[in-house]
Amino acid sequence: MAIVLGANRYGKAENRVVRIYRDTERHEIRDINVSSALRGDFADAYLTGDQSKILPTDTQKQTAYSFSKEKGLTSIETYALDLGAHFVDSVEYVKSARIEVEEFEWQRVLVNGEEHDHTWVRKGQETRTAAITVTGSGDDRTNIVVGGFKDLIILKSTGSEFTGFYEDEYTLLEPTTDRVMATSLVAQWRFTTTNVDWEPTYLGIKKIIIETFATLHSLALQQTLYEMGKAVLEAYDFIAEIRFSAPNKHHFVYNLQPFGVENNNEVFNADDRPYGLIEATVIRDELSAAPEAWESYTGLV
């Protein structure tokens, strides 16, 4: 019985294209995960290793990024149709193209009740957390409460820079005065009392953190964390300390120059790893530490 090549297709999976429309003060964002797969006259590549009919998956990737600017990314259906038609129409060996797109939705943050021009949180709620430690009884009773949240995904498309950093012989990073800054924020704060109106306090702290992220012209994620913590401690005298863990979700400007396409901070590759991980505690220095407050049991909180 003969052995033959059956169904086959190939392409580039999961290109993380972020397109910012920034022609006016009020930016728009489209954030997608796009994959392309081609079927056609590709048997030679499998059977003999002849690649002469193969449009590289790298080329498919470049096209996905460039089309977000050349054709625009205002609806994923049109974008996907444009991309698919391009592969089928321009490469004679391609008989069909499948384009799959996931779109991540973002919601504008409110600052003083008004929609912000260039800061969003990812749709889908963050997870609220609490960890308490009760020790002793009667007059010896202590209650330590830590509130917080995790997975608050927040992004600003301008108002962030990173310059003037220490450089050595391995430094390649170029300074930038205008970049996308995004993180999946974890924040935890320790209360000095249990006499707290928990619900409005949670909402109030979250609001301060989001508003500070949006409005502070950031010189680094480090500075943003400190200013967010400081603002929370200034607003709530019963918070002793706040801790942040913030992965720097890098958005690298995609190089479209080889295709003669201008990219003025409009098309980004949202890289998932490696990521910078910036952590900080902001604390009132007159208060004693409470190390047991931070001894995680599950690792979840």
Ligand X SMILES: O=c1[nH]c(=O)c2[nH]c(=O)[nH]c2[nH]1
Question: Binding site residues for 5-hydroxyisourate, as ranges?
Answer: 57, 162, 179, 222, 248
Q: Is 250 a catalytic residue?
A: yes
Among 118, 156, 250, 251, the one annotated catalytic: 250
- Extract the tokens encoding 202: 């949670």
Contacting ligand X within 149-168 (CB under 6 A): 162
Beta-strand runs (E) in the chain: 10-21, 28-40, 94-104, 106-111, 114-122, 127-135, 142-156, 181-191, 239-248, 251-253, 267-270, 276-283
Among 53, 57, 59, 71, the one annotated catalytic: 57
Contact, 69 vs 63, CB < 8 A?
Answer: no
Whichever of 21 and 275 has its CB closer to ligand X, that residue is 275
Query: Minimum CB separation from ligand X for residue 247, in Å?
Result: 11
Contact, 209 vs 185, CB < 8 A?
Answer: yes
Contacting ligand X within 66-105 (CB under 6 A): none
Contacts 24+ apart (CB under 8 A), 79-85: 79/32, 79/34, 80/34, 83/34, 83/36, 84/36
Q: Is 116 a catalytic residue?
A: no
Confirm or reject binding of residue 228 to ligand X (CB under 6 A): no
Whichever of 1 and 173 has its CB closer to ligand X, that residue is 173
Confirm or reject binding of residue 222 to ligand X (CB under 6 A): yes
Query: Minimum CB separation from ligand X for residue 174, in Å?
Result: 10
Q: Is 71 a catalytic residue?
A: no
Could you identify the residue written with the tokens 């580039």?
Answer: 12
Confirm or reject binding of residue 172 to ligand X (CB under 6 A): no
Name the residues that contact ligand X, by CB under 6 A: 162, 173, 220-222, 248, 276, 278
User: Active-site positions?
Assistant: 12, 57, 250
